[in-house]
């Protein structure tokens, strides 16, 4: 019993020692209660809006039509030649999913930030012949051709229904490529229509 009492005293003594030292060294780190409550009120709405934005996939007020698809493509083509840098999303430098999210945002459609997360959005399009302008197309990455690692925006679909051209931010910059190119034909994984008909 006596040992427990001494142990408790030692712990309390150490706690007061560390508290005193923290107060001496960083008085600004310990706000008064009114200040702390004010900070919480100011931060909470920002945190809530950030969470709702990151969870939001598509603004429901936008629906697909031919002019929407054409607008997506024309917006994408404005950035031909823009440089590539991993982790960037415009307005003059992009990575692949930064480019697609930026172009869609210009059409008032909010999509997730990475190619893998974008592959979970919208409606899957099974056949190349069913693709439309503005659809997102996905490819395997350099390290793993079976795992989504790249995304682009459909520009045109070949009348044969076997190939498509797409605008994307490649390592050499924003450009138009074709799904028939050996590199992309081997890595094509699938497509998504982000906005509904």
Clarify whether 9 is annotated catalytic.
Answer: no
Q: Is the pLDDT of residue 95 over 70?
A: yes
Clarify whether 168 is annotated catalytic.
Answer: yes
Q: What DSSP element (H or E) covers 12? A: helix 2-25
Are 184 and 141 in contact by the 8 Å Cβ rule? The answer is no
| Top-confidence residue, 92 or 3 | 92
Taking alpha carbons only, the member of 180, 56, 196 closest to residue 125 is 196
Taking the whole predicted model, whether its pTM rises above 0.85 is answered as no
Q: Which of the residues 96, 125, 174, 194 is marked catalytic?
A: 96
The token duo for 53 is: 């934005």
Percent of the chain with pLDDT over 70: 68
Q: Which of the residues 132, 168, 187, 193 is marked catalytic?
A: 168
| Top-confidence residue, 169 or 57 | 169
Paired sense of beta strands 188-193 and 173-178, if any: unpaired
In tens, the pLDDT along 11-35 reads 344 444 433 333 333 333 334 444 4
pLDDT at 68: 95
Q: Which residues pair with 178 in a beta bridge?
A: 165
pLDDT at 145: 78
Locate the domains of the chain by residue range: 2-55, 66-193
- Span between the terminal Cα atoms of the chain, in Å: 76
pLDDT at 78: 98
Structurally, what CATH architecture does the domain formed by 66-193 represent?
A: Alpha-Beta Complex (3.90)
Q: Which of the residues 132, 133, 150, 193 is marked catalytic?
A: 150
Clarify whether 165 is annotated catalytic.
Answer: no
pLDDT at 144: 82
């Amino acid at each position: 019993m006596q040992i427990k009492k001494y142990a408790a005293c030692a712990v309390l003594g150490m706690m007061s020692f560390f508290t005193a030292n923290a107060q001496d060294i960083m008085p600004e780190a310990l706000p008064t209660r009114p200040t702390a409550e004010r900070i919480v009120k100011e931060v909470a709405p920002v945190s809530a809006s950030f969470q709702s934005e990151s969870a939001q996939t598509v603004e429901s007020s936008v629906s697909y039509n031919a002019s929407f698809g054409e607008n997506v493509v024309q917006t994408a083509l404005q950035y031909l030649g823009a440089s590539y840098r991993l982790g960037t999303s415009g307005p003059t430098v992009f990575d692949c999913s930064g480019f697609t999210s930026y172009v869609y945002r210009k059409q008032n459609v909010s999509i997730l930030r990475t190619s893998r997360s974008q592959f979970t959005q919208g409606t899957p399009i099974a056949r190349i012949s069913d693709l439309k302008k503005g659809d997102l197309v996905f490819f395997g990455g350099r390290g793993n051709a079976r795992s989504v690692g790249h995304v682009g925006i459909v520009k045109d679909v070949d009348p044969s229904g076997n190939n498509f051209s797409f605008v994307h931010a490649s390592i050499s910059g924003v450009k138009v490529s074709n799904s028939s190119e050996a590199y992309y034909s081997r890595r094509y994984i699938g497509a998504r229509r982000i906005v509904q008909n």
